[in-house]
């Protein structure tokens, strides 16, 4: 009897721990380790939320902060970089600067990811220190206010105001104002491009222009959550993806509205009208993708609540909320761009669509696709691709600012 019980428990445990890792994964065991940790973490969040009767996003925030703090604790020390906190026009920032420099150095504004509602500058301190070291630049990491307590446009405005302050006061921090760029990952990539758009579309004479933008697997739209990458990376199909369709719908709703009351409307593709979808489809068109990524979109599902669709449209078609909603003319005003996308990522296709749109208007864009990697890979230094990607980013910035 004990043998049968042991066998059943072992089978259930193995079934739970099984995660299908793609053959094309460049570092399969590291991908499995990351995936199983995230799976256990997610399940514990759901159980804890049910037991405590707290909102799942509140439990998730605390849980992920503890998890990432654990990883951060074991990250190696980086010598030769000073770290300090400062206040830029009312916005808290964390500054990383080389201890020994000659003359003015380049500057980097960094905006962290986390779905607009989790993580902070400490979470990214190893990455930003490493970037400062490799580029020999001053890095300003912005502690923008988070959703759902602070919905759009508050996080965007925090990042915009801090960036303006740094551009205007760059020399105070031993930085050449003509060699300042902006970078960010995931939700931070969204805020990065939104800030770059704002400064490009509505330039101010007394504020220097950004030299470049670095977009690391950015989230860029909320029109279509049925792009091929979202279909491939849905939690119902696999769990090795760093960012799934459902998670991205949740994050967008928290950022836009401070709640997820409209989750099902977004999931069913009924959050806006058919006319709205067709009007903006050319800006998020999977038909422009290459090879197997290409897809014919379905925009024929009509909403049953036009008033709600009108309210939602006021936010999700704003290019400062969803940068892919910018026109080609507006995209053409952006600074030099370096874009990174990952294969196992719900956000893959919107990044690829941006790349195609930028190439179509002959914009200066360089694109690095990581075919065997997942969303969030630049949070985990134990990946080989982490080092190579940081090196590529550093080389790009050095080339632009030389």
Which residues does the annotation mark as catalytic?
Answer: 186, 345, 375
Residues 262, 266: Cα–Cα separation, whole Å: 6
Q: What is the CA radius of gyration of the chain?
A: 21
Q: Nearest Cα to 267, choosing from 253, 295, 246?
A: 246
Cα angle, residue 57 at apex, residues 372 and 382 outer, rounded to 5° = 30
Q: The sheet that has 175-185: what strands, in order across it?
A: 81-88, 91-98, 138-142, 105-111, 175-185, 212-216, 336-344, 365-374
Decide: 172 and 103 in contact? Cβ < 8 Å. Answer: no
Residues 90, 70: Cα–Cα separation, whole Å: 30
Decide: 255 and 155 in contact? Cβ < 8 Å. Answer: yes
DSSP H stretches of helix in 53-184:
56-73, 125-135, 154-168
Could you tell me how far CA 372 lies from the centroid of its own chain? 18
Classify strands 138-142 and 336-344 as parallel, antiparallel or unpaired: unpaired
Q: Is 301 left (phi over 0), alpha (psi -120 to 50) or beta?
A: beta
Q: How many CB atoms lie within 10 A of CB 322?
A: 26
The encoded tokens of residue 153 equal 């446009």
323: which residues sit within 8 A by CB, 6+ positions away?
A: 190, 193, 194, 197, 218, 220, 221, 354
Element (H, E) at 368: strand 365-374
Q: How many CB atoms lie within 10 A of CB 130?
A: 23
DSSP H stretches of helix in 293-383:
306-316, 328-331, 348-360
Residues 274, 118: Cα–Cα separation, whole Å: 33
Classify strands 81-88 and 91-98 as parallel, antiparallel or unpaired: antiparallel
């Amino acid at each position: 009897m004990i043998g049968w019980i042991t066998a059943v428990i072992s089978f259930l445990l193995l079934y739970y721990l099984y995660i299908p890792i793609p053959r094309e994964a460049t570092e399969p065991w590291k991908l499995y380790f990351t995936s199983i940790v995230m799976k256990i973490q997610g399940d514990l969040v759901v159980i804890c939320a049910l037991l405590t009767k707290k909102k799942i996003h509140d439990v998730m925030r605390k849980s992920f902060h503890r998890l990432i703090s654990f990883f951060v604790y074991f990250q190696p020390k980086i010598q030769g970089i000073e770290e300090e906190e400062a206040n830029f026009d009312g916005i808290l920032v964390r500054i990383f600067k080389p201890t020994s420099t000659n003359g003015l150095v380049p500057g980097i504004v960094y905006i962290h990811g986390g779905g607009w509602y989790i993580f902070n500058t400490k979470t990214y301190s190893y990455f930003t220190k490493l970037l400062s070291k490799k580029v020999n630049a001053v890095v300003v990491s912005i502690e923008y206010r988070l959703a759902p307590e602070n919905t759009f446009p508050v996080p965007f405005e925090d990042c915009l105001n801090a960036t303006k302050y740094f551009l205007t006061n760059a020399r105070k921090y031993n930085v050449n104002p003509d060699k300042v760029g902006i970078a960010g990952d995931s939700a931070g990539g969204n805020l990065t491009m939104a800030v770059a758009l704002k400064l490009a579309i509505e330039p101010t004479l007394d504020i220097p222009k950004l030299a470049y933008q670095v977009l690391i697997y950015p989230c860029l739209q909320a029109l279509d959550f049925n792009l091929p990458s979202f279909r491939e990376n849905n939690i119902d199909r696999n769990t090795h993806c760093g960012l799934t369709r459902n998670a991205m719908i949740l994050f967008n709703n928290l950022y836009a509205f401070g709640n997820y009351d409209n989750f099902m409307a977004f999931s069913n593709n009924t959050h806006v009208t058919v006319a709205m979808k067709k009007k903006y489809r050319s800006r998020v068109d999977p038909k422009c993708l290459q090879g197997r990524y290409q897809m014919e979109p379905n925009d024929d599902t009509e909403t049953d609540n036009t008033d709600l669709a009108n309210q939602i449209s006021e936010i999700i078609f704003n290019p400062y909320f969803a940068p892919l909603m910018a026109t080609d003319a507006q995209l053409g005003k952006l600074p030099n761009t370096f874009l990174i996308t990952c294969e196992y990522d719900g956000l893959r296709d919107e990044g690829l669509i941006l790349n195609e749109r930028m190439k179509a208007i002959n914009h200066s864009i360089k694109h690095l696709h990581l075919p065997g990697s997942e969303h969030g890979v630049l949070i985990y230094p134990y990946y080989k691709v982490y080092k190579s990607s940081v090196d590529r980013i550093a080389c790009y910035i050095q080339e632009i600012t030389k």
